[in-house]
Every structure is written in C-alpha cells, then in structure tokens.
A and B are shown apart, each in its own frame.
Chain A
Amino acid sequence: MKCKAFLVRSWAYLSMALVAAVILFLFGYVFVQGGPVITWEFFTASPSGSVLGSEGGIWPAIAGSLCFTATAVVLGGIPAIATALYLVFFCQSKLLRTVIQMVIQNIAGIPSIVLGLFAYSLLVRALGLGRCVLSAGVALAIMILPFIEVRAEKAFRELPPALTQSAYALGCSKSYTIWKIVLPACRGELVSGVILGACYAMGATAPLMFTGGVAYAAMPVSLTKPAMALPLHLYLLLAQGTSIPQAYGTAFVLMMVVLLSNFLAALYAKRRNRAWKQS
C-alpha cells in the first residue's frame, strides 16, 4: 500500500515537473533564439530588407493583430453575452435552450481553417468585401463566440438568484435588473472572458489567411483594407525562410502579448471578485 502511494505521488510530481520544464524550455528557447533581434526598433519599425521582413521591425503586424482582435471582440463578444443573457434570463423552453447550446458547442468544434474558408467564400467573394480587416474579423468573431458565451453563461448562472429575485419582487423589469444588477455584478468574469477570447483570436492564423491578413501592409487604417498580423507574419517568415531570428522575435512578442493579456484578465477577475465580496 505504501509502495503504491509512493508510486502515485512520484508519478504526479514527475508529470508536474515535466509540464513545467516543457513550458519553461519553450519560453526560454524562443527568447534565446529571438533575443538578438528584439530591440526598440523591432517594436516600432516596419519590415524591410532585400527580402521583405529579413530586417526592420513588426510594428504594422502588432497594430494589425490588435485591429483584427478588436473587430473580433466587438463582433463576437456582444452577441455572445447577449446569447448568454437570453439563455439564463429569458428562455423558457427547455428544448430551445438545448438546441441553442448544441449549436454553440458545434461552432466551438469547427476547425478554424473552415471558418476562414467560409468567410472567404461569403464575405470576400460573394459579398464582395474583399480581403480586409472586417472579413477576417467576422471569421475570428465566429471562432471566439462560443468561447465567450460559455464563460458569460457560467457567470450569470453563478449569480445568487436572491439578487435577481429581490429585484423582480420590487416590481422591476428583467431588463432593468440585468442592466443594474446582473451586468455590474458579473463585470469581472465578463471582462476576463472577453480578454481570454481576444487572446485566442490574436493567436489564430487560419481564419485570416484568406480573408484579411497579408504579407505586407502599411499601418491598418480602415476596416475595409487588409492588414498584417503577428501569427501570419510569423508563418510567412518561416514558410518562406526569410529570417529565422526575425521569426523567433515575432513569436516572442506574440507570446508575451497573449501571456500578458491572460495575466491581466486573471488579475482583473480576481480583484473584481474580491471587491464584490467585500463591498
């Protein structure tokens, strides 16, 4: 018995050590490989060089990624939160709720390249929007919608029912209760869900390959123009063998942006929760 417990424990510790080691190695390796190119100029300059991207910086890709992500968050986050509100506070029919939840789970299961293809054939070609931030934003929005919806729905369900019931018992309408109590009370979870969704969108390459991301563009200025994006830039640098150090540098920046956003989201949710419990 003692021997068995020892084995289970060692297995657990070893697994944990292995996972930690892999993550540390990954970060360390990318940092060491990309380190030399990471200068102030790398953040602020545009790609340059005889083969474009072999020198210079990635500023348009950083800005482009932020634009794609912001578009996706607006187009995906708002319907996601609204769907969650409907399911928790308005939907009376069990059947309808099951169907909607099934649809959302299925969206979550669609491979992102298929979403890219869908946005390409519908928005870029059939509707004639062309390759632009908007077309890619729609593909990314569909991708992150289930991600945000599930988190929002969980937050709404975990709200103490006594709060909403008290508001109804005062004769207040559901919409007033939602605006004044539900949304403020769940703000921490909603913001962290949206930021995590944004990280997910920022790291995705497939949905914007055909729909709005390009190898080179100036700073993004309009929703109807294409733009650069960090993951796509990384892919092209590697696929075309332009510059390995530049690729690692880009990877490092992408990882740091995503990691930082995750960290901020966790911090914000925690602080909101504490404020909620103490206030």
Chain B
Amino acid sequence: METILTLKDVTITYDKKPALEQVSLSFPKNRITAVIGPSGCGKTTLLRAMNRMLEEEPGAAVEGQILLNGDDVRKLPSEELRRRVGLVFQTPAPFPFSIYKNMTFALRYYGVQNQERLAALVREKLTLAGLYEEVKDRLDKSALKLSGGQQQRLCIARALTAEPEVLLLDEPCSALDIRSIEAIEAMLLKLKETYTIILVTHNIAQARRIADYTAFFNNGRLVEFGEKGALFLQPRHEETKAFLSGVYG
C-alpha cells in the first residue's frame, strides 16, 4: 500500500496544553481515510497541522514529524505545502465574488492568465465537484447566492483548482441536508481516483459508507486505525467499541 502523508510521534499543544499526543499514522494514497472520534478529541487540530494552518493560531506548537511523500512539511515553504495539501473548512466560506471569480482566485495567483485556459479549468474542476451542470448558466452570479450544499461543493472545487495531492476535509457535511450530503459523498468517491482524501467526520455512518480506512481518536490519542470493515466489524479496543455503539457519540 502506497502512503502519501505520514505522521511520526506527532504531539500538538495549545499554550503547553496537549491537544494530540504521540500520534503515528500513515495515510494511504488515493484512498479516503475517515478520522472519527468524539468532539474535542483533536481531529480538526490534526488536519490543520498537516497543512500548517495551525501556524496562523498563536500558542499552537507541533512536535514530531509530518512527512509528505517523505519530505518534512516544515521544510517546505508553507505556500507550496498548502497548494499540495488542500483544506476545506467545516462551514462553507465562498469569497463574496461571483462563482467564476471564486474558481479563478487561486489560478490567477499561480499565474494562469489565459482566458480560455481559465475557463477550461473552471469547467473541469466544477464538473469534478458535480456542480457544473447546476451553475453553468450563472457563473457570473454571486457565490453567496448558492445553497449551503452547493457552496460547500464550490469550496471543494475551489480547493481542487490548486491541484492538490491531498485534500483535507473538516466535517464538510455537518451543516448540510441529506441530498447535499449524498451529492458530496458521490463526488468524494469519484475524486479519490485522482486525490488522496482525508475526511474528518462525526458521522459514523458516513465514514462507514465511503471511507476505505478509518482512524479513531479519543482524548487526543489515536486509539485505532484500520480498514473500514475491520474497524467497524471487529474493533480491537474497548474505547472504539463504546464509541461505535454510541456511548460517546
């Protein structure tokens, strides 16, 4: 199994208080890995550490090594790292521009100026996110007018314009209705052919439906990591069993 992101003894502290302790874990390439666990167990912190967004928060410190294809992420320029490891937040945050401008925001930053090329890329990424058919007639309309589910898919499509290798998703469906969730899950299953997806979710059923691997965190520790069948059918740890049967959830 080829891995892309590897964590070695990663400990993360906020103002010296540990949020994650001694996490060692490898994320398989071109697979969906779900990260589950009760609220406050450090799932989001883990995601934010992997593309160094944590640096923007004062007081957070990371120890241990996080490797992207064998390179220590701290040695990469943060902009390059964030381009290669995209992050989509829990609440959709489209920029207050048109859909088209949202999609070209990062592309223009990376120096794509040719109008035809921009249009082709916008179309390609929106199609990947399953949104193109719904919005193709109103690309020049404000992205804030889209529904919550559409906004979230737009944010995922926007993250794809940076051509990431890994896509980190922080509970992308937590505020959405069932139909939007279905659309996003179908999209993720399609995207894993090209991208590695790491999905933080509090929804066990969702992890079960789409994840190839699942990591269970509790109290800042990695309790169990396994293929989805193994983790859900035969959890090895009492804590995992208790969580899956709803004691914490």
Contact = CB atoms under 8 A, between A and B. Distances in A.
A167 B105 CA distance: 8
B135 to A, nearest CB: 16
Interface of B: 51, 53, 56, 58, 79-84, 86-89, 91, 93, 95-96, 105-106, 109-110, 142, 144, 155, 158-159, 161-162
Contacts of B53: 165, 168-169
A167 B96 CA distance: 12
Contacts of A162: 89, 91, 93
A211 to B, nearest CB: 42
A170 B159 contact: yes
A173 B161 CA distance: 16
Contact of B56 (A165, A172, A173, A279): A165
| Residue among B84, B89, B142 having the largest count of chain A Cβ atoms under 10 Å | B89
Nearest to B102: A166
A260 interface: no
A167 to B, nearest CB: 7
A169 B87 CA distance: 6
B83 A170 contact: yes
B222 to A, nearest CB: 24
A160 interface: yes
B56 A168 contact: yes
21 contacts: A162-B91, A162-B93, A163-B96, A165-B53, A165-B93, A166-B95, A167-B105, A168-B53, A168-B82, A169-B53, A170-B106, A170-B109, A170-B162, A171-B83, A171-B110, A172-B106, A172-B109, A176-B109, A180-B105, A276-B96, A278-B142
Nearest to A173: B79
A166 B79 CA distance: 13
Contacts of B79: 171-173
Q: Which of A162, A185, A276 has the most CB of B within 10 A?
A: A162
Interface SS, A side? helix
A114 B63 CA distance: 53
Contacts of A176: 109
A172 B105 contact: yes
Contacts of A94: 58
Nearest to B52: A168
Given A165-B89, A170-B86, A279 B159 contact: no
Nearest to A181: B95
B45 to A, nearest CB: 14
A162 B58 CA distance: 16
A92 interface: yes
Contacts of B87: 169
Interface of A: 92, 94, 160, 162-163, 165-173, 176, 180-181, 185, 276, 278-279
Contacts of B56: 165, 168
Given A92-B58, A180-B105, A279-B142, A170 B95 contact: no
A176 B95 CA distance: 14
Contacts of A168: 53, 56, 82
Nearest to A185: B96
A198 B59 CA distance: 39
A279 to B, nearest CB: 5
A170 B158 contact: yes
Contact of A160 (B80, B88, B93): B93
A279 B144 contact: yes
Contacts of A163: 93, 95-96
A162 B89 CA distance: 8
A186 B96 CA distance: 12
Residue of A167, A171, A181 contacting most chain B CB atoms (<10 Å): A171
A-B pairs with the 5 shortest C-beta distances?
A: A171-B83, A162-B93, A170-B106, A171-B82, A169-B87
Contacts of A172: 79, 105-106, 109
Given A170-B105, A171-B80, 17 more contacts: A162-B91, A163-B96, A165-B89, A165-B93, A166-B158, A169-B87, A169-B88, A169-B89, A170-B82, A171-B81, A171-B82, A171-B106, A172-B105, A172-B106, A172-B109, A176-B109, A181-B95
Contacts of B80: 171
A169 B96 contact: no
B144 A166 contact: no
A166 B158 CA distance: 10
B160 to A, nearest CB: 10
A171 B85 CA distance: 9
Contacts of A160: 93
Most buried by B among A162, A169, A176: A169
Nearest to B161: A170
A176 B83 CA distance: 14
A165 B105 CA distance: 14
B95 A169 contact: no
B170 to A, nearest CB: 10
